[in-house]
Structures are given as C-alpha cells and as structure tokens.
Chains A and B, each alone.
Chain A
C-alpha cells in the first residue's frame, strides 16, 4: 500500500529527481518519488553520458563545475557503479569556424577558472591516433568525464531507497490539490499523496505539470538519436566531440555516438512518448566513420532515441514558484545528466533553505520575461503536422 503522506513528493524518476530525492532522504526527510514508468525511462537513461564544465554556456558553468567536482566520488558514496571515467573531454574541430568557437569556450573557461588546453592537429593525433586527418586542432578539458546513464540513474534510485526513500514506479501524476496558495497533495494514478513540498523533475512532462498549477513555462520537446557499434579495442578514454557528433567509447569498447537533426514532438501528461529511430542513424554512421576512418568496417549493432525538453535558450531552469509557493522545479534542457551530481544538492537546498549555495541565478524562470505565446513557432520548434 503506497504511503499517502510525505515531507517531499518528487515527480519524476529521472536523474534530476532521484539525485534530489537522494539528497533529501540523506538528511532525514521522508521522500516519495513517483515515476510514470520505470526509473531512467526517458532522457536520463538514454543520453550520451557526457559530463563537462560547459564553458559554452556561461550561466551554467558554476553548476556544471560543481557537478564535475562531485561526480568522481559518487560511486563510493552511493554504493553502486556509475561507470564514471574522468579522462577529459576533447573537442575536435574539422573547420576553422568551429575552432574559433572553441577558442571562445577557452576564454569563458578562463573567466571561471576552468582549465582548458588548446591543442594543434598533431597533439590531437598523438592523443587519439584514430581521429581523422581532417582535424584542425581542438580543445581539451582535463576534468571532462563520462558515465553510463542507465547505471547512474539506477545507482541514485537504489541509494535513495537505501536511505529510506520510497520509490513508486508506474505511478503517474494526474493533478494537484491546492489550498492557500500551496499544493496540499499530489494526485496520482494510484491515489493522492499529501506533501509539504513538491519537487517537479518531470522531464518532457514538465511544462504540462506546471500548467496544472497555472504556470506557463516555455519548454518544447524533441526526439534525438544515438547509435552503438560493436565493441572495439580501447581507442580513447575521454569524452570526444567532433564532426557534429558527441559521444564516448564505453568501457566495454562500444562507440556510442549521437548528433544530427532532432525532431520536435508533442507529449502528453501520463503517456510514454514513442522513441523510434529513423534512417538518420545512417547519417550518424557516416559522420562517425568520417571522424574515425579506421572504424568504418566495424558494425553498428544498435541505436536508440530519447525525448528531451528544451527551453528557448537551451539552458536548465531551476526555480521555486511564487504560487503555489511550495513547488520547486528543475528542467534540464538536455544538460540533466552532466549536472546530475550537483542537481540534487542545489534543488534539495532550495527545498530546505529556499536558496542554493551554488550560483544558479541565471537559471531562474524570470530570465524569459513574457514569452510570446507563439514562441515555438518563432523558433521553428514545432512538430511536423500529421
């Protein structure tokens, strides 16, 4: 019989929600996580597993840096393996313009005290001999890392339970009971749960959840794709971005790479959005073989897709609503996995103290001001009509 009361109800068993729930349970809060499917079923378990200091996004840097600081000790702290590897992040340029952009990232890094190395083509080849001769140099973040998304989500979920947290899978949120400018209970498909505070970490469903409490937040959802090759001998250990792709070589040896045009879609509140692959996986294969010419004859053995929500500036939103006032939410705009180690810390601080020890003021909702009702149309972020 599910519990019908909790100090905090966290909506969403993705990595943001579970990291938050873990941090709250750790300090003795009575926490329930409700998840419409199973943990990590959406983007948290389906992303590329990249972790970095994000000097391409200045407002995100403090949170990303804190996450990079916390990730390395997570395995021991949680008691379960995340497959974390901290061997840096290499960004290979295949055009002069791309190299120029990378140099800007270096400047931002300097401003925030993030160390970035600029590498010439020869240095890149020394580091990763299998990289294309077309490489024009690149940049290297020594603290960049990657981990296994599925394993990491499960690690947080199990560690949360080990701290006494309650996880209700296959439990979808249908609505909220409110009184006096606060949420009093979360209505789920298996019954109501009273809560002092609600944390919404509902990924693609975030905008729909907020609509239920009368708040509009500009988020659009998209489907993106990744391919996996058969296992190879070790080629490189760092996260490696280039040729329009992002990815890594998993510990088992498979190359896991994604990129390319995503497709804007609509989701509903309780369903499991379809995650089909499309012939785009052929184009990803081509770019992958362009980036690493020596692997052209290695078989692709799998592909998958994921659904992510995006704010207009592609940055996370982390905030406390004015009304209902006991409603905290986090939406990651596809940065969720990278920042996960710090998300729980920051969001739990918002729940407990109303403010965060990490600088996240640039990630609040007020940055959007009054968003035009047709903002998705303006950005071209709309689904293709049926």
Chain B
C-alpha cells in the first residue's frame, strides 16, 4: 500500500494554502478533492444540497475540471509548487488503529473515483473538507429548486452549471448577502432576501450595495411555503412574523421564483474527523460540533490537522477568505515542522507572520437557527418532512413513530415520544435515528441532522450543546459496491474469510 507523506483533503482556499505551504517547505504533498463530482451524486444532494437546478453540461467531466481550476487559480500555484493534485477523488473513509481495532499497519484513507476505490496510508493528514448547508425544511422544500447556499455557490462558481433564474434567499447574514451578489453576477435575479430577524444580520455595506441594485429585503419575515409543479418551485409565499416568530395574519405575499436558497447557516464537514474519533466539542459560535484544535491547527490526534470551515466557521470568514487561507498555512507549517522538513525556528517565524492578522470575534449562531426553526414550524406545521430520504415528518420524529411503511399503530406506541423517552436518560439522536429512521437515507443525514438536533433539543427541554453528536459511519459518500470493493483482494483474505466465528475452512471441512 502506498504511503503518502502528507495528504490534504479538500482543495478549497484553506486546503490549497496548506498544500502550497507544506510543498514549499519540501514536503511531498497529495491534495485531494472530490470535485468535480458526478451528476448522479449531485442528484442525491451529496455532498451539498444542490437542489436539482443543475445544467446538463455537468456530465462532461473534462470541461468541469477546467472550470474548477479556473474558479480556484491557487490550484495552478499548488501544482507548480510540486503538489500532486488529485481532483475528482473522494475520501469516503478514514481508518486508524484503536483499542478495539489493531489490524492496520498505519492510519489509512479510503479513496475513490467514479470507477474504483483504493486505500492509502499517510504520515500526516490535513482535513480541509469545508462546510455544508444548514437545512431547515418547509412546505415545498422537496421541490426542485430548493437548495443550500454552498450548493448554489458550487453550481455558480465551480461548475457554472446553475439553471436558476429567480432566487429567493433565506438568511441575511454574510452567507446570504454573498450568495445574492454571486447570483446576480451570474445573471440570476435575486427577488428577495428574507430574514426572521428584525434587521439584516450581515455586512452593512454589502447590504446597501444590494439594496441600491434593487434587491428587496424582507426582515421579520419567514417562508410559508414554496409552490410548484413537477418542474420545481414556481412561487413562494412569504409571511411577516412577530417577536414570538408567529405569523402575522393577512401579511402573506406571493413572489414568483424558481429557487429558494437556504443561507441560514453553515455546518463544518467533520465526517472524516468523526470517523477518526478526534475530540470534538460543541461551539455555537463556530457552527456546532467542531474538532478541538490548538493555535497551530493540530487536532487531538497526533499528525492530524484541520484548516478552514471544517475547523469551525463564522459569518466573518465568508467575506474574508484570508482567515481560512491563514489556517491552511498554519496547518501546512505544522505538518512540515512535524515531518522535519523545516526546523522549529523557521516554523515559529512563519507562524508569527500569519498570526499578526486580526482575530475575529464570532457570535453564537444557534439562537438564530432556532428562531428560523420556530418560525418555519409556526407557519409550516409539524407535518413537514424533517427527513426527506426516509419520509419522516417533524411530528413523527418527536413522537418516535416507527416508519410509515410499517403502518404500526398501538395504544402503547401512542403513549411514547421524545418527552417520555428523556425520563429514561438524556436525549440521544442516534437512538432516535434508529427508531424513526431519520437521517438513515441516501444523503446520509446531511440534510436533516441539524434540524433533528434542534427539534430534539426544543422538545426535550435540552440545551442544544448537550444534545450528543450524531455519529457518521463509513462510507461517508454513497459508494457503489462495485466501486467500493477491492480489486486487489488478497488470497489470504479469501482463504481466511469466516462466515460467523467459524472459519469457512472449518465449515467446509
């Protein structure tokens, strides 16, 4: 098996900066990014919420690759610095020895392209896997055209493959404002920016700029529903909300639009760090559960670093990519130093240069997320699906209902719900998931897990920070069996295969 000196996962701003920094220090760097991803993966809304507003040109991988490098010029710089850039390659697994798993001869990553998978070993790992969109559902959010801001960004910049024409943006933080600007630059009409807050939350000058261009802001408003047909969203209904997030009757306003972009919040993509069992903590100001790390971007695991959104992100980072870039550089310096490519004096000097940048003071985000949830529940009700893949409504979730296909009704079951369950111990999203199947579908819970945690916290009277993390399991990308399987399976594996505690050889003998 091949051993890479340093693997960087994610070729965004942070990951590319990390790769360049380490390569310039003389480290052999492998930079891996799953983009361009296949159209079929996009159809599953993995890894981002793309919302089925994807142009057909996406099936042409070659042109996608060109667009990707055009959208991120630093990739050329990385290649020039000697970085081995592997695009179109996803990391679907991360494995290491633990107390209960000792067979590996070193930490490993599971990689795959469209056709096959393979496993590599690494000495150092920098995870710069970015973020994904917070999704809170609404009536009509299953229609084509409902998407997340990160999904929209990818379609607009990286792929230039968006088919949206008229966009309503939910969320007036920097994510929403930035998305509006980018959408307009790509010829998409932004017909409304909506926030449940009484004022615009994002950057003042960017707001003015958008207002001057004629973008309408609807503060103290929420989305009642998106209406449409098989072709997707055709219009949206907005409604004003009072300070209790209750709808103001008679204030409904219907706006023609084909896209609803959720820009309410972003969530760090910590799947791989979860698989590796890095220490994580809940930090509302950084988007939820984030890996613990020090100033040098070292995680709790020897040799594993983080950089960019995955390390925790806040609204300030959206308009200032320098923050992610600096984190990337710090991680690259840390990895280079620990590999002995640069000495500690050199590392210290380079770090000092970077740390001079002003530090941001992020604010907690979950009050905002909760306000959105409350308003969307108040206007949309509890019958809206919380998990689309498995068809679990908000009500079914908090009533711990068995899945619909079991068609189970009993007096006993009707007396059980999240509130009765917490009498037996703290609310546990993994347990709720197994009973209701929420988050068990093809998107692997990416679109529902935050809403689930928010609902469980509200229903059980638990502080959101105390709601345990919902675990990830490999493969963290849906991977066809024919791709996941090892083409190089060893004879030893075949001969020593056991069915169930008895070696096949004994069964056969």
Contacts and interface: CB of A to CB of B under 8 A. Distances in A.
Nearest to A35: B425
A170 interface: yes
A259 interface: yes
Contacts of B98: 274, 276
B215 interface: no
B405 A80 contact: no
B55 to A, nearest CB: 24
Contacts, number: 188
B307 to A, nearest CB: 24
Nearest to B497: A244
Interface string B383-403: 000000010000000000011
B435 interface: yes
Contact of B411 (A79, A98, A150, A307): A79
B320 interface: no
A386 B486 contact: no
Interface in A281-305: 281-283, 285-289, 295-304
A97 B508 contact: yes
Given A79-B410, A101-B508, A297-B482, A245 B100 contact: no
B498 A277 contact: no
Interface stretch (A107-115, A154-162, A179-187, A324-332): A154-162
B496 A45 contact: no
Interface in B265-294: 275, 277
B493 interface: yes
Interface stretch (A17-25, A63-71, A132-140, A261-269): A261-269
A369 B482 CA distance: 48
Interface in B398-436: 402-403, 405-406, 408, 410-413, 416, 424-426, 428, 431, 434-435
A296 B499 contact: no
Contacts of B352: none
A241 B101 contact: no
A282 B484 contact: yes
B108 A303 contact: no
Interface residues of B, number: 62
Given A278-B95, A296-B482, A299-B478, A259 B500 contact: yes
Nearest to A255: B481
Contacts of A83: 406
Contacts of B504: 244
A229 B475 contact: no
From A161, A259, A286, residue with most partner B Cβ within 10 Å = A286
Contacts of A261: 493, 496-498
A223 B95 contact: no
B447 to A, nearest CB: 14
B498 A244 contact: yes
A101 B499 CA distance: 13
20 contacts: A80-B408, A81-B406, A150-B434, A151-B435, A161-B424, A162-B412, A244-B504, A259-B497, A260-B498, A263-B101, A265-B99, A277-B473, A279-B93, A279-B119, A282-B486, A283-B497, A297-B481, A300-B481, A301-B478, A302-B475
Interface of A: 38, 40, 45, 78-81, 83, 95, 97-98, 101, 150-151, 154, 158-159, 161-162, 167, 169-170, 222-223, 229-231, 241, 244-246, 251-252, 259-263, 265-266, 273-279, 281-283, 285-289, 295-304, 307, 310, 314, 333-334, 383-386
**Top 4 A-B residue pairs of the complex, sorted by shortest distance between their CB atoms:** A79-B412, A286-B485, A299-B478, A97-B508
